[in-house]
A = this chain, B = another copy of it.
Amino acid sequence: MQDSFTTRLSSRTAKLTSSAIRDILKVATQSHITSFAGGLPAPELFPVEALRAAADRVLVNDAKRALQYGATDGLAELREQIAADVSSAEAAACAAAGLAAPDPVDPDQVLVTTGSQQALDLICKLLIDPGDRLATENPSYLGALQAFRLFQPTFLTVEMDEDGALPASLELALGQGTKFAYLLPSFQNPTGRSMTVARRLAVMEVVKRSGTPLVEDDPYGALYFDKPCGPSLRSLAPEQTIALGTFSKTMAPGLRLGWAISPKEVHARLVQIKQSADLHTATLSQHVALELIRSGVMPAHLDLLRSVYAERCQAMLAALAAEFPPEVRFTRPAGGMFVWLELPAGVDASPLLHAAIEQEQVAFVPGGTFHPNGGGRNTMRLNFTHTSPEKIRDGVARLAKVVRRELAATPA
């Protein structure tokens, strides 16, 4: 009987509940809905022909390796490539900010993960016991919060302004014993905000002073519209940081390829933990990604992504400015995938989602879900990368109608 299982659940899963919002948003995948809800890259921009050629070369030239079990830490050549690419990006960003570059990343610090989501799970296994404290921006990436919750931590929330996490709020959260801080400094999910160079320096002063480990998640940094948004936090305290990156937003999420760059002793433990989780990440994906990079298409591909996403973001910001009532505030991202909206206090975005889907066939994610300790019910996240400018303009106009009706119905 299924009772065999349900009477034996672990304490971490006994309280798992299905997300009401997730259930609603399943509707949003239907084709008549304009969805600003997901965090999906534009599939029409996937470098399909280059990937197809890369996959074919891999299976012609190196099939036995690409199909066999592989090393837990990842394909050596891919780890070398990631180390070199991250090192040169860090050196350039530090130089642009007038800072000294850190030591180059050693390939033996690079762990290839099954998407950067997996790295979050591995890091929790490494560090978190039930009841431990961890610090996140408020709001923060929902997938991280879900991964963290399985390990039963207490969340200490770090408040933000337009430049990201506030150093004074971070300092309060990094008291004695906080296991780690989790920050997204560049085009943050869900807010689209980025830390300025000055903010990065101030944040890292706090991190270094407290001695708290930092997990820097940077899935969007390469998706800047005009220029990179600053040195990685890792480059300001490499011995204290695990830096996460991913090919999901720059190549394709279906490869499930991310990475974690850690101090070497930390890396060695993460490798052991990953071995138990899935032995290693798909070798075929790793070989194809390496071959794609070596083919030389990535710089032009990234330029394409940046210009198309910049145009879509611009379309969304212009439509929000034109259609939305002035009391709704929104961020103006310089890259990434999301715009963050703040409705007047007292307005709840969750019933607004129901109305938006039913009345206007448009979807978004209510912002409350991104707040680890509750709050933020008057916020909402809109994605601009997965929808054409025309549909963005039309969808934002329809969403504005719902918002205006809701504001009219809400007592001031």
B117→A278 contact, CB < 8 A: yes
Kindly supply a per-residue 1/0 record for chain A positions 250-271, scoring 1 wherever the CB is within 8 Å of any chain B CB and 0 otherwise.
0011111000000111101100
Interface hit among A83-91, A126-134, A352-360? A126-134
A139 at the interface (CB under 8 A from B): no
Main secondary structure of the interface of A (DSSP, over half): helix
Kindly supply a per-residue 1/0 record for chain A positions 1-42, scoring 1 wherever the CB is within 8 Å of any chain B CB and 0 otherwise.
111111011111100101000000000000000000010110
A5, A120, A179, A269, most chain B CB atoms within 10 A? A5
Q: Which residues of B contact A56 (CB under 8 A)?
A: 52, 55-56
Which residues, 53 to 70 on A, are CB-close (under 8 Å) to B? 55-56, 59-60, 63-70
B114→A278 contact, CB < 8 A: yes
A280 at the interface (CB under 8 A from B): yes
A279 at the interface (CB under 8 A from B): yes
A69's nearest neighbour on chain B, judged by CB, is: B253
Closest CB of chain B to A205's CB: distance in Å? 15
Report how many copies the assembly holds.
Answer: 2
Among B8, B121, B288, contact of A278 (Cβ-Cβ < 8 Å)? B121
Q: Given that A43-B67, A63-B46, A256-B278 are known contacts, is A269 also in contact with B8, CB under 8 Å in the complex?
A: no
For the complex, what is the distance from the CA of A121 to the CA of B273, rounded to whole Å?
10
Q: Given that A56-B52, A146-B275, A263-B2 are known contacts, is A254 also in contact with B8, CB under 8 Å in the complex?
A: no
B279→A211 contact, CB < 8 A: no
Closest CB of chain B to A170's CB: distance in Å? 15
Interface residues, chain A, with chain B CB atoms under 8 Å away: 1-6, 8-13, 16, 18, 38, 40-41, 43-44, 46, 48, 51-52, 55-56, 59-60, 63-70, 114-115, 117-118, 120-121, 124-129, 132, 143, 146-147, 149-150, 177, 179-180, 211-213, 239-240, 248, 252-256, 263-266, 268-269, 272-273, 275-285, 288
